[in-house]
Structure 1
Amino acid sequence: MGSPISPIIANFFMERFEEKALESSVLKPAVWFRYVDDTFVVWKHGRDSLDDFLHHLNSQSPSIKFTMETEVNNQLAFLDVLVKRNGDLLDHTVYRKPTHTDRYLHKLSNHHPSQKQGIIGTLANRARRICDNEHIQEEPSLLNKAFLANGYNDREIKAALAPRQRRPDVNEQENIINKAFLPYVSQVTDRIGKVLKKHNIKTIYKPTRKIRDCLRPAKDKREPLSSAGIYQKSAVAEHAIRDGDHKIQFEDTQVIATISGYHPRLAREALEIHKHPNKFNRKEETFYLNRIWHPAISRTKVAAPRSRPVPEELPPEQATPPPPTHKYALRRRGGISLV
């Protein structure tokens, strides 16, 4: 959705939507649980009335359309929870898609051991929170089998699966916020991390480059103006509209740089505006560039192209022949070379 506040706005809309839909419905569900745009409903009024209730939901707003899945063999998946109907009770365990392959981060992968143990511990915590008492014993055996296939041994799996209470770190107690980001290299940067820890510096290990990062993307590059999105009217367009007969040659445009981040793009745009003397860009629309950087950037300014008169074409008999090509003798040790 893009904006950080989009989930909040969507939640506000859905709250208003469900209040209006449930109040205006003749038959109401016994249970209505919602997470963002996914709902879990218990319906006790029959299948035919359930289809009418779905039609009622889809008639509330033209931009919101619900789809429906019903239980199969007394089971229904909701998010990562598999709900099972057991008489008048509902059992719940971890849901895995039919295409699940139990492939996780391999033991031989070049990642810090704490990251590998964290994956096992996270899956174990998920099982404890989701599974009921009847299914909680099944998950540890499934995880043990899966991580054995990914190269881990029994001792590492049991240590990561064991529930433990999080002990507060000494650095957190002293409110130490110094951090060092290092690429993980086995037996190299982990030793550096131990040294930094003595000086109250927390080390965060990043994975090194993957083979995928070294390969060229399979997709071809798109034209700069062919991407879908919102385009703001620039000063060049306003200049063309104001002057009337002014044609913008978009086919001759050139992309100076491609920046992915928003704030880095504003900073790079401010640098390019300062470097190019002939421009239509308005400085108030971009990042403010401090004057302290002007002397350094002035050395990289791009010279403005000078307009030269176009010479008239002469007839072939009056055309001046090209000047002869001169050869210069460069003395080298052991002889003379001509260029």
Structure 2
Amino acid sequence: MGPYTYTDKFKKQFQSSKLNGILFATPPTKLRSGDTFLPRPPPVPPLIASNAYLGPPSHCLQRIFKEAGIKVYHSAPKKLHGSLQSHKDKKDPSTRAGVYRIPCECGKVYVGETGRNLPTRLKEHRAHGRRGDFDKSAIVKHSHITDHRVNWEAAEIIAPIQVWHPRRIREAIEIHKHDTVPQDIGFHINDIWLPLLPTNGTSISTVTP
């Protein structure tokens, strides 16, 4: 046995310290030829069930399921008023913002959009006619030039939309769809989309701005 060196003393001090299990841990045994590591199986997710809460019977069922390894969550039972329709009358679409249509007796229509309600917008169109401001209302100008009667009573909101940008897009689609009086085409739609848009007499229910 050789002389006791400083290295041996240093090693002995570390072997007796807390770092012994880290610095001087026994290396793992080498695998023999043909040995393989088996991957750790993934954790099995717990079985979960949901059941309407029915008072004490629900707690009894919860204990039974728990013994079978199934975790049960209780949910509130469906109440009667949730299945009943509201007694309140539906809101009149003419009182909402959206895209509107004003027909003329000749069969053409004017399509516009408004952030206010329809009666207010129709009053503005009529006021332009009384003051002679025909360039401010395409339907009034059309009526003045052709001597056609505007069917104000048949004016309607055809697409209630509150947000301005989608409303402008829908207005442009409706203008493309209808046979309109001479008017501003509104929001520009790229020609690439025109083959996909409906034309006169077709539905627009599947087109969403």
With structure 2 as the length reference, what TM-score do the two structures score? 0.34
RCO higher in structure (CA 8 A, sep ≥6) = 2
Whichever of the two has the greater Rg, that structure is: 2
With structure 1 as the length reference, what TM-score do the two structures score? 0.22
